[in-house]
Chain A
């Protein structure tokens, strides 16, 4: 079954608004990472949050992690047209196969 599930699958907002994307997972994790993908090519790492952290900031990005609910959220503030992309969460498990498990992604569109 899919480990990371992003919600919503697609999000369209106006430039300047804030965008919030959510990720849920099923097993215990060591860390959770968010990536961005433009035009279906390589992914760019945005932020990594470890299981003992609850919130992390990087520029206009804010990530929260709630291990009790097995969920994370990515907030992009003051969105720009250049933020238009697909956003994926990926989880690093504590046990089992040592690989990141990616969700299906949220397609974010910022309208000028």
Chain B
């Protein structure tokens, strides 16, 4: 079946603008994760959704970052008033259940804030 998809693939924006990044997880996967990866670095956890439970937002770097997951499927990561340090690849992953299972990653959205 289809894998995790993300859109857009690339996004260039100006400092101070808001951006929305979208993630479509694998159908039937109850867990969804957002990560950020700066150039040449490892993955930084941002937020985790599991079913109807309250999301784990412990990785969000500031209150400019928010995410929602509608209907237990599609998720949107919103960055308000973008800053240059927000430039990174934003990766989404989904898994059948929680973190004890394999995560399947999307191709990522490369965000560049000018």
Contacts and interface: CB of A to CB of B under 8 A. Distances in A.
A40 B48 contact: no
A33 B37 CA distance: 18
A44 B102 contact: no
Contacts of B72: none
Contacts of B106: 42
Contact of B99 (A2, A42, A44, A100): A100
8 contacts: A44-B105, A45-B102, A92-B99, A92-B100, A93-B99, A98-B48, A100-B99, A103-B42
B58 A45 contact: no
Interface of A: 2, 4, 30-31, 33, 35, 40-45, 48, 88, 90, 92-93, 97-105
Contacts of B41: 104
A105 B106 CA distance: 18
B89 A104 contact: no
**Chain A interface secondary structure, helix, strand, loop or mixed?**
strand
Size band of the B side of the interface?
A: 20 to 34
Nearest to A104: B42
A40 B89 contact: yes
B33 A99 contact: yes
Given A40-B89, A41-B89, A99 B42 contact: no
Contacts of B37: 40
Contacts of A2: 42
A98 B98 contact: yes
A88 B93 CA distance: 15
